[in-house]
Amino acid sequence: MRIETSVTRLLGIDLPILQAGMSWASSNAALPLAVSRAGGLGAIAAGPMYLAALEEAIDTVRAGTDRPFAVNMPLYRKGADEMLDLLEAKRIPVIVASQGGPGKYLDRFKAIGTVCLHVVASETHALKAAGQGVDGLVVVGGEAGGHPPADLVSTLVLVRAIARATEGRTPLVASGGFADGQGLAAALALGAGAANFGTRFIATPEAGVADAYKQRVLQAGTADTRTVGRGFGMIRTLSNDFADQMVALERDGASEATRRAHFSAATLKMAALDGDVTRGKVEAGQSAGLVDRIMPAADIVAEIARDYINCLRAMPQQQPVDLSAQARQR
């Protein structure tokens, strides 16, 4: 099946379904490989990886498919320069850069034909990155797991605002809150050329997180996430001892030092790798409330595409209507 959009043309993929870069969950070859093979775009999350592991994951994905894949690269991380050197040497097909300006990587990656997508969470940053010449923007709205925008503007509003501001000149990927084919239809209706799916792909055998983490995602309802850590890298995470204590500290006006200490004592790694879903950061989006099954990533891609088509068929069909003539008759 093919669904052609501005983003599928840009990336050379069959379906406008992107697997979001997720530290640990997609810091491996298995998940990105499965998604890219199925016709979407898989993304290796380089954030927590050592150089050698990243190189091995890139080589494994390449050996498994000749379809495009991405590396998600947080530009702030320690050792980012060495990592960018590796990605350039590997001539990766797509880079999805987050947290930092495009100036750090754009020219050198465009020069080797890498498609450069930049993650943004406001109109100002979108216009700035588009002006610098990125090939496309990943627009992250307030529903998103991981790091949503500080002002929590919803994906519904932010994607529309950025689509209007960029006037269709820059392909957009909508990110945050998408879990199924209906979500994909909504993303395309808003003016994006694809949707990014994060939390949905945690519920796969391929995701590199502990089973307890996956189970928490399955159990979560739409209202079970919390946004905590305002001021020092706010995250959206599932409610647990860590998150609830953080909410209480913020509500009760605890000192910055106390809040920071509590926030830094818990990590995503504790939940993702050690399976400590009580005291670790179980980062996930509101879309966790729409995820109720663990399925192979390729089946998820196929299901999203199929449900998208069914969703379009179920839309009310409009006959062309002359509204001004109707108004005159009234």
Ligand X SMILES: Cc1cc2nc3c(=O)[nH]c(=O)nc-3n(C[C@H](O)[C@H](O)[C@H](O)COP(=O)(O)O)c2cc1C
Q: In the complex, which residue's CB is closest to ligand X?
A: 198
Give the tokens for residue 135.
């090939």
Residue 47 sits in the site that holds ligand X (CB under 6 A): yes
Give the CA count within 13 Å in the CB-facing half-sphere of 183. Answer: 24
Length of the chain: 330
- Residues paired with residue 237 on neighbouring β-strands, in sequence order: 226, 283
With contacts defined by CB under 6 A, name the span among 9-17, 59-67, 157-165, 176-184 that binds ligand X. Answer: 176-184
Distance CA 80, CA 237 (A): 25
The Cα–Cα gap between 238 and 225 comes to 4
Binding mask 236-255 for ligand X (x = CB under 6 A): --------------------
136 binds ligand X per the rule CB under 6 A: no
Kindly state whether residue 86 participates in binding ligand X, applying the rule CB under 6 A.
no
Residue whose CB is less far from ligand X, 81 or 258: 81
CB-nearer residue toward ligand X: 175 or 227: 175
Closest CA to 74 of 95, 53, 103: 95
Radius of gyration of the chain (CA): 20
Which positions from 271 to 290 touch ligand X by CB under 6 A, shown as an x/- string? ------------xxx-x---
Q: Which part of the chain contacts ligand X (CB under 6 A), choosing from 29-37, 76-84, 171-179, 247-255?
A: 171-179
Q: What letter would DSSP give residue 287?
A: G
Element (H, E) at 163: helix 155-166
Member of 93, 146, 193, 208 binding ligand X (CB under 6 A):
146
Binding site for ligand X (CB under 6 A): 20-23, 25, 45, 47, 72, 74, 98, 119, 140, 143-146, 175-178, 196-199, 283-285, 287
